[in-house]
Amino acid sequence: MQYRTSLVIQVVSGLIRSGFRRSGRRFIPKYFIIVVLISWLPGQSAAQNRPMDEASIESFKRRVKDVADNTGTISCDFLQEKEMSMIKEKIISRGKFYLKKEKMLRWEYIHPFSYTIVIKNDQISIRDENKVNHFNIQSNPVFLEINRVILGSIQGTLLNDDKNFMATFFENPTSWVVKLQTLSPRLKESLSEIVIWFDRKDYTINRLDMNEPAGDFTKLEFSSKKLNKPIADEMFVLH
């Protein structure tokens, strides 16, 4: 049996979550959070993290927003590890991520299956093997939430989203670590906490962990980043 894993955005990028809803013999994405993904460095253990003071937190938030404001395009590779209570072994997936301001995003799984999500303006398109489905964001409250999160991520405003997340900030020798506890009832059904690692050298995201209420866990690591390089508009169209 093949499992289709999709992403959900929510941070400064943005956010991510992998959920499934069964429909017939296929798995259709339930929610996905997508993060504005950039570079990857090995994560640090919790024991090495120390709390940040208020002045450091405010300075960090400003720098994250500055980087987001000055990033027009992003492309990178990703590695996803998914642990699910219904499956003993980890699900390992690989693919590519593309972002182009203002509202164009492509999340493409390459291995072990082919699966692509594209968000362009107010439309979400999903290709599962050779079948493409299109959804209008405005017609679905879940997609509206996704769109809000994506924009918040691009603009670097997610770290200030006190209505939907309670944030705590930590640092270690190579990273800033932000833990976002979900407060929004809609998101809380599928996502209890997001943990984000930011590279101390350039304030970009290098790792994202997502914890789900049922105990499922997703880790994403990002590599081979390219910032502000040309990306053709055709990359954000699925037929």
Q: What is the pLDDT of residues 155-214, one digit of tens each?
A: 567 788 898 889 999 999 999 999 989 898 877 887 788 888 888 988 888 888 888 888
Domains within the chain, CATH numbers bracketed: 20-231 (2.50.20.10)
Handedness of CA 167, 202, 11, 154 (dihedral sign): positive
> For 43-54, how does the pLDDT look when each residue is reduced to its tens digit (9 = 90+)?
334 448 999 999
Question: What is the dihedral angle through the alpha carbons of 115, 33, 82, 135, rounded to the nearest 10 degrees?
Answer: -30
Q: What is the pLDDT of residue 151?
A: 59
Whole-prediction pTM: 0.75
HSE-up (13 A, CA, CB side) for residue 158: 33
Q: What is the pLDDT of residue 139?
A: 78
Residue 27 has pLDDT above 50, yes or no: no
